[in-house]
Amino acid sequence: MSDTLAEQPAGIIELRVDDAEAGLRLDKLLAQRIAPLSRARIQALIRAGNVSGPGGATIGDGSHRVKPGETFIIDVPEAEPAEPAPETMALDVVHEDRDVIVIDKPAHLVVHPGAGHATGTLVNALIAHCGDSLSGIGGVKRPGIVHRLDKGTSGLLVVAKNDPAHQSLSEQFAAHGEDGRMHRAYLALVWGKPIRPRGTISARLARSKSNRTKITVTKGEGGRHAVTHYELIETINTQAGPVSLMRLELETGRTHQIRVHLAHAGLPVLGDATYASGFKAKSGKLGEAAQAALAALDRQALHAAELGFEHPRSGKPLRFARDLPSDMQALLDALKSD
């Protein structure tokens, strides 16, 4: 891989169609010739009337088939300011360079602005932290979110700072680690003890028909393929029964995958109000100190502990690891003393 990573261009670009490019779709041709711009960004420019063809006519359809010798003019505007407002807040930056930033996200921090969370998100914080080092992703100066962690999940998360890095990381996450570039592993405290110390949970996942905020295991060909590999680290015998510390490695990355798979296996995550609600009475059987630690956690006991990916500019593998955060460690210590 080249050690140079082209940044998003801005201004007027003139391209002439070569003989070998005859018959290509216009959007495909432009994406090939203007590599820093994604095909989606190219299509948006075409729809916005920023691409003109022979005779200066505006080309509004990306499926337009080009002919040899034709010349196209592309007007690429400067990246617009980010829509979310910058907000200064403390961030645990694990790694940062001109292309990517890796954060150890604290629990309770929402990643992206949305309904009920217009401010106070990781995106708001990154816009303030990165400042002018952000280039236009999709035409807007904003961090490129290529994966997310639930609000109640802590741990490692990588964010792109420019369009080429966003494309590279998106491709790596889409491959779900099958090509060896992407690696993700989590630590979780769960109720119970797995039958085998190592194994795989393979169960298709779909959005619940009765509650659209929940994900459920589905049989047959419905839902999406999902695979989680697990390893038992240790089991603690508490007054409420066994609790296990487990390491989970993702082969696919579906919404709520680890939490749903573990609940499906009879090993729901401690503190998970959505998928371990049936175990609420069980927590009342813990000793006083363990109950207090679980209440103080106030979230699912799930931590993204390992993250690896191929750097989008250099191609070098990067690997990061983070120990349990203080609230999960305090719960683990209290459980061992129960």
Q: Which residues are catalytic?
A: 150
DSSP symbols for 196-262: SSEEEEE--EEE-SS-TT-EEE--TT-SB--EEEEEEEEEEEETTEEEEEEEEEESS--TTHHHHHH
307 vs 328: CA distance, rounded Å: 19
The per-residue b/e assignment along 41-76, b for 16 or more CB within 10 angstroms, e otherwise, is bbbbbbeeebbebeeeeebeebebebeeebebebeb
79 vs 89: CA distance, rounded Å: 24
Max Cα-Cα span within the chain: 81
Q: Under 8 Å CB-to-CB from 320, ≥6 apart: which residues?
A: 94, 95, 102, 156, 306, 307, 308
Evaluate whether 152 touches 299 at the Cβ level (below 8 Å).
yes
Q: What is the DSSP letter of 119?
A: S
Nearest-10 crossing angle of helices 288-297, 326-336: 160
Evaluate whether 163 touches 98 at the Cβ level (below 8 Å).
no
218 vs 241: CA distance, rounded Å: 29
- Which three-class secondary structure state does DSSP give residue 33? helix
- In one-letter notation, the amino acid at residue 72 is F
Region of residue 232 (left: phi > 0; alpha: psi -120 to 50; beta: else): beta
For 126, 222, 274, the CA distances from 123, given in Å and listed in that order, are 5, 33, 25
Evaluate whether 72 touches 51 at the Cβ level (below 8 Å).
yes
Nearest-10 crossing angle of helices 39-47, 26-33: 130
